Amino acid sequence: MRVLIVKVSALGDIVHALPVLDYLRKASPGIEIDWVVEEPFREVLEGNPLISELHLVRTKLWRKRPFAPDTIRDICSVKSRLQGRNYDMAFDIQGNLKSGLICRLSGAKTRFGFTRDRLQERINTFFTTRQIPMRSIDYHITDQYLRLVSVPFGKNFREMELTSNIFTTPEDEAAADVLLSTLSDGLVFLFHYGTTWQTKFWSEERWIELSRNILATFADSTILFSWGNSQEKEAVTRITSSVGTGARILNRYPLKGLIALLKKVDLVVAGDTGPLHLAAAVGTPTVSFYRASDGKRTGPRGVQNVTIQSSLHCTPCFRTKCDDDARCRDSIKVEAIVKAIEGLLSYP
């Protein structure tokens, strides 16, 4: 049997979908699994032995120049490669217009997708042949993905111990080791400041307070600050400057390099953002905070991961802008983060 997974973006959502691979392998030994992903996120999936073929798409470029000759050739090439694989079925676990179109282009006669009530872009239902309803217990996004792919196999994913693996190269691992060799002998923390929505950020003052607390509590520890764009780099520069010795800004890493480093640090603290989910997927303990988004729906699960939700009555609001943003940021308390870190590290 050969199946196609359509999950093209975003980084955190792709990580949440990784257990689907392990489920399919266990539910149908010998199955061939292909995956369609946006080119910028290819490194999360490259090298995974459970994936037979990785199909790369560039939908942002397609939307900018829909009728350009290069776009048309690109789409035709993707269609040809997909249909040449002769899929028995396709699973659209993205659930929007672009994923629906890709799913239809695959040529699979049986195409599974979400029901209209689960879709932000309901036009998606026109491209799938079977829409799978969720159950009330399928609240976490990973469970929703697993519910959708499990239907044709009839095996309960909740009775399986499923793993998420992200593969890095020896060169990536060596580069991470070189960096770590330059640090003190104590614990190494990675704090990720940035995220996509302003309503998911934490204030610089709180990051500074947390950093000082951690460095005072854990002897000889180091805090590495990662960032995603120039504005975030400016912010972590201000933070590390205020914290002083023990806080360090990371250079910009390729995705595989960052994943290799996330495997080796002792703990990660972040909001609802891709690097957090990468860290959890590779088995590193995490503490994460949620304001506009819902930690129960998208937060890392398991005993090594602690999620902290804002105490405001309006959270999770899923708003990207809010007049009450400052009060919401302040509702995430440093004391709660510290307590979670100490609990994960079993620190007295």
Q: Express each pLDDT in 209-236 by its tens digit.
A: 999 999 999 999 999 999 989 999 999 9
From first CA to last CA, the distance across the chain in angstroms is 52
Residue 76 included in any domain: yes
Residue 165 — very low, low, confident or very high, per pLDDT cuts 50/70/90? confident
pLDDT of residue 120: 86
**CA-based R_g, the chain, Å:** 21
Q: Is the pLDDT at 348 greater than 90, yes or no?
A: no
Query: What value does the mean pLDDT take over residues 172-194?
Result: 96
Q: Which helix (H) or strand (E) holds 210?
A: helix 204-217
Calculate the CA 281 to chain-centre distance: 8
Q: What is the pLDDT of residue 243?
A: 98
Contact 212, 191 (CB under 8 A): no
What's the rounded Cα separation, in Å, for the pair 281 and 124?
29
The answer to whether residue 244 is domain-embedded is: yes
Same domain, 48 and 85: yes
Check residue 194 and give its pLDDT. 87
CATH number at residue 217: 3.40.50.2000
Segment 88-92 shows an average pLDDT of 98
Burial class (CB in 10 A: 0-12, 13-18, 19+), 54: middle
Q: What is the pLDDT of residue 346?
A: 87
Q: Which domain holds residue 300?
A: 170-344
Phi, psi (5° rounding) for residue 130? -135, 125
Which residues, other chains included, contact 79 with Cβ-Cβ below 8 Å and sequence gap of 6+?
105
Average pLDDT, the chain: 96
Residue 164 lies in a domain: no
Residues paired with residue 132 on neighbouring β-strands, in sequence order: 114
Q: Rounded mean pLDDT of 64-81?
A: 94
Last residue of a domain, one of 112, 136, 159: 159
Q: Which of 70, 139, 82, 140 is nearest to 111 (CA)?
A: 82
Residue 216 lies in a domain: yes
Tell me the mean pLDDT in the region 94-102.
96
Q: What is the pLDDT of residues 327-340, one digit of tens each?
A: 999 999 999 999 99
* End position of a domain, from candidates 97, 126, 159: 159
Last residue within a domain, chosen from 98, 133, 159: 159
Tell me whether residue 123 is in a domain: yes
**Is a pLDDT exceeding 90 seen at residue 151?**
yes
pLDDT tens by residue, 189-203? 999 998 888 899 999
Q: What is the pLDDT of residue 347?
A: 65
Between CA 32 and CA 28 the distance in angstroms is 9
Q: Which residues are within 8 A (CB) of 35 and not within 5 positions of it... i.e. 6 or more apart?
A: 4, 5, 6, 7, 45, 51, 53, 54, 55
- Average pLDDT (97-110) is 97
Summarize the confidence of residues 275-284 as an average pLDDT: 97
Q: Examine the domain organization and report whether 39 and 81 are in the same domain.
A: yes
Strand 247-249 to 89-92 pairing: unpaired
In this prediction, residue 253 carries a pLDDT of: 87
In this predicted structure, the answer to whether residue 42 has a pLDDT above a threshold of 90 is yes
- pLDDT of res. 196: 85
- Secondary structure of residue 297 in the 3-state scheme: helix
Instruction: List CB contacts of 116: < 8 A, sequence separation 6 or more.
Output: 122, 125, 131
State the DSSP code for 136.
Answer: T
**How far is the C-alpha of 30 from the C-alpha of 25, rounded, in Å?**
7
Q: Over the stretch 264-274, which tens digit does the pLDDT of each residue have?
A: 999 999 999 99
Is the domain of 29 the same as that of 150?
Answer: yes
The residue among 194 and 15 whose pLDDT is bigger is 15
Q: Are 276 and 288 in contact (CB under 8 A)?
A: yes
Q: What total number of domains does the chain contain?
A: 2
CB distance 35 to 45 below 8 Å: yes
Query: Pick from 125, 157, 129: which is nearest to 143 by CA?
Result: 157
Query: pTM for this one?
Result: 0.94
Contact 62, 105 (CB under 8 A): no
The stretch 4-15 carries a mean pLDDT of 96
Sign of the Cα torsion 127, 129, 135, 137 reads negative
